[in-house]
Amino acid sequence: MNTLNVLGIETSCDETSVSIISNGILTSNLISSQDFHTQYGGVVPELSSRAHLQIVMPLLKNALQKSNLKLQNIDLICATAGPGLVGALLVGLTFAKGLSFSLKKPFVPVNHIEGHIFSGFLMEEKPEFPYLCLVVSGGHTLLLIVKSDLEIVKLGSTIDDAAGEAFDKVSKLLGLGYPGGPLIENAAENYNNDLIDFPVAQCKNEFDFSFSGLKTSVLRFIQKEYGDAERIPHGDLPKISASFQRTAVKSLTVNVERALNKFNVNSISVVGGVAANKLLRSELNRISKKYGKKLIIPSNEFCGDNAAMIAYRGSRLYENGFKFSLSENAYPSLNENSFIKL
Ligand code: KG4
Ligand code: ZN
């Protein structure tokens, strides 16, 4: 079934992405980021929808050209159906359904998180089932055991903020801007000494995560030391950023180690926007070596939102025999029909 030209479309948040996987090989993965949201300190949903609408068609044309294909050569159309911003999702979904209808080619709605979970398969070295998967994005933090294409067991998730959300909120608090992850990482770069001892949360379920206490600890520290965030001396930003980053990463890695002590897996995969974080990558590298497990972290192009992961996941569902009509599985019903067995 690998002899398919699979089109993927992703418009769940602030990245418009169009990708083509041709005969099992990724021939284009075009990503257009809506950088203009930075001036508002976060994603403005209505502006996001409009920007998707403007760029999705030119991206499709470029992706076809790059892949040396005509629209008529596309055999399968996959689009993110949720979770995400409703208006933004609708742009990609409606576009994909229109293509499917006019080309008379099958359409597969894809769960965005499932796209991330399997994004390690876009790398040359692939995860091996069963694998421990840490999903760390702006909206989700999950620890899973992925047993096969269709069987995923949830060990834990965040009980409050997602990991990426914590980076974004603390960044805002420090006046660094949006998106917080890369900005905090930059501010923290090369700062290792004399870190502030922020607490790692302990949850009732040993595999759950919590970040809101950490965020409050950063806020309390700022209030105690400086009165308010505007008075933080520029020179102190690396110390606060590095201390927060170290604790956030530790909150993630302790659960990974706990799971490795309890479950037998063949590899570890870390996916989603926060997987781009260098400290998280190096800590997981150390842990994977300690436990003798293969570690698959997608390259930055596949960590953030991208349509390659949507095309890949959609094609696996299709190859597993799933068929979808154009009238079903539109967001939000996909959540109920999600293939994640949580
Ligand atoms: O997966 P993603 O691109 O979009 C969602 O589906 O949410 O993740 C975006 C999140 C944002 O919260 C962003 O701050 C975070 O990933 N992020 C990072 C880094 N790069 C992006 N967090 C920490 N370190 C980074 N280098
Ligand atoms: Zn995402």
Strand partners, 342: none
Q: Is 84 in the pocket of ligand 1 (CB under 6 A)?
A: no
Atom of ligand 1 nearest to the CA of 164: 12
How many Å lie between the centroid of ligand 1 and the Cα of residue 13? 12
Nearest atom within ligand 1 for CA of residue 180: 14
Is the domain spanning 125-297 CATH 3.30.420.40? The answer is: yes
Q: CA–CA separation, 100 vs 278, rounded Å?
A: 40
Q: How much distance in Å is there from the Cα of 319 to the middle of ligand 1? A: 30
Query: How does DSSP classify residue 321?
Result: T
What whole-number percentage of the chain has pLDDT above 90?
Answer: 79
Ligand 1, atom 3: closest residue by C-alpha: 304
Output the pLDDT for position 252.
98
Using 50, 70 and 90 to split pLDDT, how confident is the model at 339? Answer: low
262-287 burial, b for 16+ CB within 10 Å, e for fewer? Answer: eeebebbbbbbbbbbbebbbebbeeb
The rounded distance, in Å, linking the Cα atoms of 271 and 273 is 7
Task: Give the domain ranges of the chain.
Answer: 5-118+302-341, 125-297
Q: Are 310 and 110 in contact (CB under 8 A)?
A: yes
Q: In what order do the strands lie in the sheet with 131-136?
A: 151-157, 141-148, 131-136, 267-271, 294-296
Q: What is the pLDDT of residue 326?
A: 87
Q: How far does residue 119's CA lie from ligand 2's centre (Å)? A: 11
**What are the pLDDT digits (tens) for 106-160?**
999 999 999 999 999 999 999 999 999 999 999 899 999 999 998 889 999 999 9
Q: For 47-71, what is each residue's pLDDT tens digit?
A: 888 989 999 999 999 999 999 999 9
Fold of the 5-118+302-341 domain = Nucleotidyltransferase; domain 5 (3.30.420)
Name the residue at shortest CA distance from atom 16 of ligand 1: 273
Ligand 1 in reach of 156 Cβ (< 6 A): no
| pLDDT score, position 3 | 63
Residue whose CA is at the smallest distance from ligand 1 atom 26: 277
Would you state the torsion angle of the CA atoms of residues 172, 177, 178, 179, taken in this order, to the nearest 10 degrees?
A: -90
**Extended beta strands in 209-309, E state:** 267-271, 294-296
Q: What is the pLDDT of residue 328?
A: 61
Closest to 214 in 3D by CA, of 276, 132, 141, 305: 141
> What is the reported pLDDT for 335?
47
Measuring CA to CA, which residue among 314, 313, 305 is closest to residue 31? 305
The model carries a pTM of 0.92
What is the per-residue pLDDT across 95-112, written as a single tens digit (0 to 9) for each?
999 999 999 999 999 999
Is 5-118+302-341's fold the same as 125-297's?
Answer: yes
